[in-house]
Amino acid sequence: MGTVQAKEAPRNPIDISGLNNRRSENSPKADSKKNAPSNKQAQPTYPAAKFKTVRARVDKVNIEGLSRTKDDIIIESIQPLFSAGDFVEVLKQAHEIRERLVGLGCFNNVRIYIDTSSGKAATPDGLEVTFHVSEMRRLTGAINTLFGSNNEGSVALSMRLPNLMGRGERIQAECSYGNRRTSNYNFGFVKPLRGRSNAFFTTSVFQHFTEQPASGYKEIDRGLLFDLAFTSAPLVRHNLQWETTWRDLSVLNRTTAFEIREMSGPSLKGSLRHILSVDRRDQAIFPRSGTLWRITTEYAGIGGNVNFLKNEAQFQANIPLSNDVVFQATLHGGMLKSIGNTKPPSLCDHFFLGGPLSLRGFESRGVGPQAGRNALGASTYWAGGLHLYSPLPFIKPGGFADLFRAHLFLNAGNIGNFEFTDDYNHNLEVLGQNMRLAYGLGIAMKLGDIARVELNYCLPHMYQRTDAINKGLQFGIGFDFL
């Protein structure tokens, strides 16, 4: 599964593809007793000095609006509230519980009311917390817009049976069609697991169809995915996946190179994958500060006839230079190794480089080994970028203008079937040989909280003769940019 997709579904913390976990960044809005959080930051801030000294104890928690949902998961979720000792802690815990309840995917809306407790059993510092929840209907449906990693937009129809057995289980079915003839069908079952690790178990059956004109092939993937997502420390998210996919590669048209033709045909991949993501950024699109790590390790060779070990890492750091200007550094890298003396990994397992979401200034998959005019991909790549984001000059900030950023970038990368040795310096030299570099400037726009649109003027500076360069304007839409 190559596509990482983001979509507008803030109440859905688990994307069924399992590759993309966005924390719901919405701060609570309907909380009457809380000081309104400053809208520049996602985490609510409290006038701590004032409240920290206020001792508090939660006497009673009411949940209103429950009908289908079973009590046990709710009781478990709200337990931490009773251990709070002061008012700030009560607020924090209440907020976290709200996030958890929303994350279960059972409720349309969760509101919190905090009042002093009354009645016979009331203690002097006692508080009474009330959660007003409204449960989702038994069947929901939606039409969404998706943005894939392929600079492609698509429309998705989805249907969901939320809270099936009262403990947050849901069945979901989704199909999507892209403007580049990509299509996806997905049918899955999701179950939140108990415990503090915010774990979800997902099973899904899927079919993806993609066309890769730059490589001259099309691919149908049909498979089965089991995914266990959990949090091991705050903001440290893990996905453990077991995937079995039947991939069918076929030639796109008559101009496809024979090297691609040779790799067509069906193959079966059985793999275990671990995705570790640590997202300490303040927001996903146009972050101002914080870092993002994502490390993916995949071992293929559990059944099937595809054997490889694939490692990929992404790093992003954001440093605010002044109030509005943000400096961003990114580094991506990946390595693919075949295991044993089995046949080498297939075309669709390779890494590719180039394109508006990857190495800007080059055509999509325009960098690296080629056959004819088709990109073959390679086993190793790295790409890094330095960015400078600032608000649009000469325009008053606020409102509509906040959706835009001026963007100055320099990115570089390399891809190839490199031979590594034990000599560290030699390896670095190999990685740096024939490095590609491009720079430019442009405008980036935020599209909801789900995607980013970029229009850049690119100047490729270092490139190889065979590379497909994109000098001049380049348009990109997507979620994960280099």
Partner 1 sequence: MPTPRVILSEAMALEVGGKEPWPSDVKLYQPYEVEQILLPDNANCLATQAFLKMSKLQYTVEPRSNAEFMSPSGKVPFIQCGAFVVSELEPIVSFVASKGVSLTNDLDNGEKADMRAYMSLISNVLATAELFITWCDAQTYKQVTKPRYGSVFPWPLNHLLCWQKRSSVTKRLHVLGWANKTLDDVFHEVDQCCQALSERLGPKNYFFGDKPTELDALVFGHLFTVLTTPLPNNKLAATIRGYRTLVDLCKRIEHEYFELPTST
Piece of 36-44, 84-92, 246-254, 407-415 that binds partner 1 (CB under 8 A): 246-254
Does position 166 bind partner 1 by CB under 8 A? no
Does position 338 bind partner 1 by CB under 8 A? no
Written as six digits, the tokens of 42 are 């996602």
Is the Cβ of residue 236 or residue 268 nearer to partner 1 in the bound state? 268
Does position 246 bind partner 1 by CB under 8 A? yes
Tell me the torsion sign for CA atoms 477, 479, 480, 482.
positive
Does position 255 bind partner 1 by CB under 8 A? yes
Is the Cβ of residue 210 or residue 414 nearer to partner 1 in the bound state? 210
CA distance 190 to 195: 16
Tokens 């034990």 belong to residue: 422
DSSP at 402 = G
Extended beta strands in 45-199, E state: 57-64, 107-116, 126-135, 140-147, 153-161, 170-178, 183-192
CA distance 103 to 220: 32
**278: number of Cβ within 10 Å:** 19
**Bridge partners of residue 440, in order along the sequence:** 409, 458
Closest distance to partner 1 from the beta carbon of 270 (Å):
9
- Judged by DSSP in three states, 360 sits in coil
Is the Cβ of residue 24 or residue 305 nearer to partner 1 in the bound state? 305
Is the Cβ of residue 130 or residue 250 nearer to partner 1 in the bound state? 250
Does position 420 bind partner 1 by CB under 8 A? no
Piece of 14-22, 85-93, 120-128, 256-264 that binds partner 1 (CB under 8 A): 256-264
**374: number of Cβ within 10 Å:** 25
Secondary structure (DSSP) of 273-291: EEEEEEE--S-SSS--SEE
Beta strands 57-64 and 126-135 are parallel
User: Of 155, 220, 223, whose CA–CA distance to 188 is shortest?
Assistant: 223
CB 198 within 8 A of CB 191: no
Piece of 72-80, 230-238, 301-309, 333-341 that binds partner 1 (CB under 8 A): 301-309
Among 250, 291, 297, 434, binds partner 1 (CB under 8 A): 250
Closest distance to partner 1 from the beta carbon of 306 (Å):
9
Among 10, 153, 304, 448, binds partner 1 (CB under 8 A): 304
Does position 179 bind partner 1 by CB under 8 A? no
Piece of 129-137, 250-258, 324-332, 385-393 that binds partner 1 (CB under 8 A): 250-258
Among 64, 262, 402, 419, binds partner 1 (CB under 8 A): 262
Question: Within 80-139, which residues bind partner 1 (CB under 8 A)?
Answer: none
Query: How many chain residues are in contact with partner 1, going by CB under 8 A?
Result: 17
Does position 373 bind partner 1 by CB under 8 A? no
Among 30, 79, 123, 266, binds partner 1 (CB under 8 A): 266
Does position 346 bind partner 1 by CB under 8 A? no
Tell me the torsion sign for CA atoms 296, 277, 439, 459.
positive
User: Of 149, 227, 215, 240, whose CA–CA distance to 186 is shortest?
Assistant: 227
Is the Cβ of residue 270 or residue 287 nearer to partner 1 in the bound state? 270
Among 41, 258, 324, 401, binds partner 1 (CB under 8 A): 258
Does position 339 bind partner 1 by CB under 8 A? no
Distance from the Cα of residue 412 to its chain's centroid: 23
Query: Which spans of this chain sit near partner 1 (rule: CB under 8 A)?
Result: 246, 249-251, 253-255, 258, 261-262, 264-266, 268, 303-305
